[in-house]
Structure 1
Amino acid sequence: MSLSKRQVAYLNKIIGTAQKMLATAHLEASKTGARAGAPTRRRRSAAEAEKMRADILAKRAKGVAATKLAEKYGVSTAYIYMIK
């Protein structure tokens, strides 16, 4: 089976693209997660979640900003407002 010049050029382009992807794969692996520098996500136990909810309610009653609480606990501000 012989390939035309156009087919050979197309295959060379595919090979070049694959080599670039492999060369930069380690960069993509270091950027896992939605936000760069964000803490890793973990599942809380029911007891931990209830303690966190109670703490959030107490601090919100004292006037602590939702954004500060969201950063502290690693949750969204929408979750903080939902707890109310």
Structure 2
Amino acid sequence: MALSKRQVAYLNKIIATAQKMLDTAHLEEARTGGRNGAAKRRRRSAGEAAKMRADILAKRAKGVSAAKLAEKYGVSTAYIYMIK
């Protein structure tokens, strides 16, 4: 099956696009959480969660921003405000 120049050019464009996607795939994996570079979220035990909540309350009392705490603990800022 012979391909026309136009078809060959189209296939080369598809190949280049696929290669670019493969080359940047590791960048997507490096993003944790997807939003604002947040830490990867994980499931915590009840004890770890209680300790985290107490730590968040103490740091909020000292004036640490909710955004910084959310990034550190891998939770949303809404969760930080909910703990109050």
Gaps of 5+ in 1: none
TM-aligned CA deviation for residue 80 of structure 1: 1.3
SS at match of 1:42: coil
> Separation in 2 of the partners of 1:15 and 1:59?
51
Corresponding residue of 2:10: 10
Corresponding residue of 1:51: 51
Which digits, 9 at most, give the CA deviation of each residue in 1:25-48, with x for residues without a partner? 464256332244x54432210111
Question: Any residues of structure 2 matched to 1:4-83 within 5 Å, and which?
Answer: 4-22=4-22, 24-25=23-24, 27-28=26-27, 31-33=30-32, 34=34, 35-36=36-37, 38-60=38-60, 62-67=61-66, 68-83=68-83
Aligned residues: 81
CA RMSD of aligned residues (A): 3.0
TM-score (norm 1): 0.59
Higher alpha-carbon Rg: 1
Aligned-residue sequence identity (percent) comes to: 69
CA contact (8 A) 2:39 2:74 kept: yes
Aligned amino acid, residue 79 of structure 1: Y
TM-aligned CA deviation for residue 59 of structure 1: 4.7
TM-score (norm 2): 0.59
